[in-house]
A and B are shown apart, each in its own frame.
Chain A
Amino acid sequence: MKEALNKFKSLKLVRMMGFNRVVLIGVIILMYILFTILSPILHQGTNFAQVSRLLSALNYGYFIGFLALGVTFVIATGNIDFSIGPVMFCSALISGYCMKQYAFPLWLCLIMCVLIGAVFGTVGGAFVAYLHLPSFITSMALMQVAKGLGSVFTKTQTVSWPQGDAPNTWFRNFVRYKGIPTGLIFLIVVAIICAIVLNHTRAGRYIICLGANKEAVRLSGVDTRRWEMLAFIICGALAGFAAIFYVGAYTTVQPGMGDTFNNEAIAACVMGGTSMAGGLASILGTVIGAFIVALMQEGILAMGFSISYQYALTGLIVLGAVIADTLSRRRSN
């Protein structure tokens, strides 16, 4: 048994992807089978093995995926960001409101989404990197700011982006175009770019190394503050990206919400093998983790449970992943 496991671990593909990632893919398949069997039993008349279910899970996976990719950079530096969900909503609210109220062109609104996210990232990053505030507290505060700002700007109204036969709905093609799940292509392309940045550029190298030992990097003559802040900016900008894909899939955004997505994105990230202690990150793991989260929420709904179960389950996943991470680190010491 042990030998077979070792043999499996030493396969070329397994080594390339990392054992943890292969296990996660197994988990996805298992979950799919489980939901397909359980949902008709628990919830009369549902059929989980439908294309529409899969597409709906994908829609959820895109924006969670972008959020999770962003927060991967922050977690790699040994920090955390609890503001990404509300920041995503805040940028969707503000730019959507501008489009409706002041007739901003659509392309400008899309750019605004990313910019607003990046501004939040810059502010948070500056506090953490230059003023040495704990990221936990800073991002909690920014989360409230993002929620409040979104509400104030829209006068606490729900904002609807164009849909149906309205003009200017081409942004929805980013998510699906003539039945093709285009969002998947975008997510994969961005993930590849993230992986390249993280593993093959100076920025990525510094971000990961400073997450492992900041003082050693600083004493090597590197301005660690700059790179630490950059991680937050990337995270914020990707939250803006997530906003585009959120409205592309669901079109309406409510003020004062979004914090549940923080945990889901962080869960995706940590499940995928990015260490909460910093210094270790896996983009592939994050993407797979995002789809596990997405499939789970779809499955929970299909089985007829309320979405609150999803929150509880995500919390447990984060806990489990952190425990696994800590244990494996303790063993290797």
Chain B
Amino acid sequence: MPEVILTMKGIDKSFPGVHALDHVDFEVRKGEVHALMGENGAGKSTLMKVLTGIYTKDSGTITYEGREVTFANPREAQQAGIVIVHQELNMMGHLTVAQNIFIGREPKKGIRIDDNAMNVEATKLFKQLGIEIDPKTTMSELTVAKQQMCEIAKAISHDAKVIIFDEPTAALTDTEIEQLFVIIRDLRAKGYGIVYISHRMDEIKKITDRVSVMRDGQYIGTLITEDCTKEDIINMMVGRVIYEDPKTQSQCPPDAPVVLKVEHLNAGKMVQDVSFELKKGEILGFAGLVGAGRTETCRALFGADPKQGGDIYIEGKKVEIHSPKDAVEHGLSYLSEDRKRYGIVLKKSITENSTLATLKEYTKGLFIDRPKEEKVTQRYVDELRTKTPGIDQLVMNLSGGNQQKVVIAKWLVNDAKIMIFDEPTRGIDVGAKQEIYELMGRLVKEGKSIIMISSEMTEILRMSDRILVMCEGKKTGELDIAEATQENIMNLATRDIDMREGDK
């Protein structure tokens, strides 16, 4: 076996009210991909933040390349060769891609920053990774997926020996994930030690060599990936077995009334003449590659972005939606894919976030009805099993998956009849994912209708009654779940691209 490059022993860390790490052990060898798994709030990100000097540990030792080390800040860790790709994106929106990648270590010409050299370097880096991004575009113009790729490029551009990926694929689609895996395999062959955090079980089997599992801040054990099954890992994580079977038949009666009809929706380049219907009690899956225009379609429908044209009918009546306020008043809700930017108010508490879309109903006379508000918040904290010391906790102190649960709670409190879920299970652990699927099932049984955008093929095939496929801003097809397969969805999702390539 290759040599151990990094050992963490007896790491302990507490936050007010939370014992986040309870004497955790962890090690990384050269040339291995070591998965770190566990439920939301198990302490994975915290362990990695302790390692890279973002948090200081309460006790325990870290041995790196045979020496005991303590990094005071991420920069020191970086200089020693340990870099981390964070779960939450940390890019400066107003800077260019290249400027972001080389921030703090820009190539200089005299005293001025040499932007040209920077762009050349970035281009080289992207080529090496096989991704197509123009280093001169500003970061905020990129989709979440592309931004994520930039984060990865930035990490690799350091002279690293250990690279930590904290849920790198949460925002990526299958093709991009394949790309990432090629990169990771290459890094492994070069002898890097890689820590890989993810909630997607099939990735773990595909890419990792060993799996370490954490639960409630404790280290549970390590498995050799080859010698165990998916179920073994899940069992170790949540203490029970979970099965994921695709849906084979639509659960929505064929004569169900149409609740939402969208005709010839146009909004910029990303939404071109999209029309579709949504029935009562139906889950309509939106499939496609990243950048297919699914999010843009839903944002235009919800009034979040201006549209150039198109008619929207709700329960047969034509409605005008010019702002999210109009949309909410007409019984629509939209759970955004980008929770940090569009979903939650990080500086505020779980309670304040949970009732944000429905505050009017939680006021008595002039004042906010605190007890009522707290009651409903507590209800959804329990129902979604959000891990927190209390409902007054600031959302920024929650783990990534638990933040996502708060956003979901906000829209469940709102109780709209048409719910748009854009990547609802992003960053959510297998157990909780299962619960959210069950919850969606319950919601449609109660007569609500759901549009679900998902980049995870298994999720699309498991939840949808009908699937709408988009490619480059156009709708390329619609499939009933009974006829849908990975292959025909992928075909539709790349149809325009194929046709164009065929022309050449």
Contacts and interface: CB of A to CB of B under 8 A. Distances in A.
A215 B323 contact: no
B352 A219 contact: no
**Band of interface residues on A:** 20 to 34
Interface stretch (A160-168, A220-228, A229-237, A239-247): A220-228
Contacts of A219: 302, 304, 324, 334, 336, 342-343
A201 interface: yes
Contact of B345 (A196, A201, A202, A209): A209
A212 B327 CA distance: 23
B367 A201 contact: yes
A326 interface: no
Contacts, number: 74
Scoring A212, A223, A280 by chain B CB atoms within 10 A of each residue's CB, the highest score goes to A212
Interface in B325-375: 325, 327-329, 333-334, 336, 341-348, 352, 356-357, 359-360, 363, 366-368, 370
B410 interface: yes
Interface in A68-104: none
Interface in B382-431: 410, 414
A221 B348 contact: no
Interface string A234-270: 0000000000000000000000000000000000000
A200 B352 CA distance: 11
Contacts of A216: 341-345, 356
A200 B347 CA distance: 17
Contacts of A215: 341-342
Nearest to A210: B345
A221 B304 contact: no
B342 A212 contact: no
B368 A217 contact: no
Contacts of A201: 363, 366-368
A208 B325 CA distance: 18
Given A205-B368, A209-B352, A215-B341, A220 B324 contact: yes
A200 B362 CA distance: 11
Contacts of B347: 212-213, 279-280
Interface of A: 196, 200-202, 205-206, 208-209, 212-213, 215-223, 279-280
Given A213-B344, A220-B356, 9 more contacts: A208-B348, A209-B348, A213-B341, A219-B302, A219-B343, A220-B357, A221-B327, A222-B324, A222-B325
Interface of B: 302, 304, 323-325, 327-329, 333-334, 336, 341-348, 352, 356-357, 359-360, 363, 366-368, 370, 410, 414
The 10 closest A-B pairs by CB, nearest first: A221-B328, A220-B357, A212-B347, A220-B356, A213-B345, A212-B345, A279-B347, A200-B367, A221-B324, A223-B325
